[in-house]
Amino acid sequence: MTTVNPAAAVQITGLQKAFGDLEVLRGIDFEVARGEVVCIIGPSGSGKSTLLRCVNLLEEPTAGQVYVGGVELTDPDVDIDAARRRVGMVFQQFNLFPHLSVLGNVTIAQRKVLRRSAEEADRIARDNLVRVGLADKVDAYPAQLSGGQQQRVAIARALAMGPDVMLFDEPTSALDPELVGDVLGVMRKLALEGMTMLVVTHEMSFAREVADRVVFMDGGVIVEEGPPSKVIGDPAYERTRRFLSRVL
């Protein structure tokens, strides 16, 4: 039996995921404490996105448990929509609605999913757009924004739902290099504010500076984890060293 740790923001035990014959996650166990920032690194195809997608049940695990805030998402009786609302996700592709303004993009799920009034959704959207430095863009449309600005709108949209945990899947990988810094700056600020964050990234300088812990994945397992100074600065395993020699 799993011991549920009520202090953990996220707890994953024995997580496996297969697509047909392809075993993508082969038994993942780990916890994220409240307010902790964990960066997940690893080669392409190692299962990083699948792991994040299992944390908000965009993918259904083949085996194992996922708890968010002590609530088991993998329990068949759980109110999955309610549980999922506690988890915000930001993707590599920003997935904004092109026909909606910035304000529309940040209010729509608040209104349709959380049933907030227009006034409340509007106020919360504006507060979160201030948070990501886009107070002056409320009336703009996605096509009028840079990639970095669009990604910050996507972050504001996720924050407006009031999540306990934020998941980021390579949030800067689709951006021109000069726009990466603004997005990482917003994420750094969120981390300092105490947001619990699980970040898949190839930005090793961000991981070094901001992560409390770095997890290196390869072949669907966690190979090693620890403080960035250890995992990035002095890795224990050859597989980690080989990966780092390619990205650093």
Q: Could you list the residues that contact ligand ADP (CB under 6 A)?
A: 19, 22, 24, 42, 44-50
Name the minimum Å distance from CB 115 to ligand ADP.
Answer: 31
Q: 133 vs 219, which CB is nearer to ligand ADP?
A: 219
Q: Are 212 and 227 in contact (CB under 8 A)?
A: yes
Name the minimum Å distance from CB 157 to Mg ion.
Answer: 20
Burial class (CB in 10 A: 0-12, 13-18, 19+), 118: exposed
- The binder of 97, among Mg ion, ligand ADP, none, by C-beta within 5 to 8 A per type, is none
Q: Tell me, what DSSP letter sits at residue 58?
A: S
Tokens encoding 32: 């994220």
Q: 149 vs 201, which CB is nearer to ligand ADP?
A: 201
Name the minimum Å distance from CB 22 to ligand ADP.
Answer: 6
Residue 49 binds Mg ion (CB under 5 A): yes
Q: What is the CA radius of gyration of the chain?
A: 18
Q: How far apart are CA 180 and CA 202, in angstroms?
A: 12
- The binder of 248, among ligand ADP, Mg ion, none, by C-beta within 5 to 8 A per type, is none
Q: How far apart are CA 29 and CA 163, in angstroms?
A: 22
Inter-CA distances, 21 with 18, 42, 48, Å: 7, 22, 18
Q: 124 vs 200, which CB is nearer to ligand ADP?
A: 200
Binding mask 6-45 for Mg ion (x = CB under 5 A): ----------------------------------------
| Site residues, Mg ion (CB under 5 A) | 49
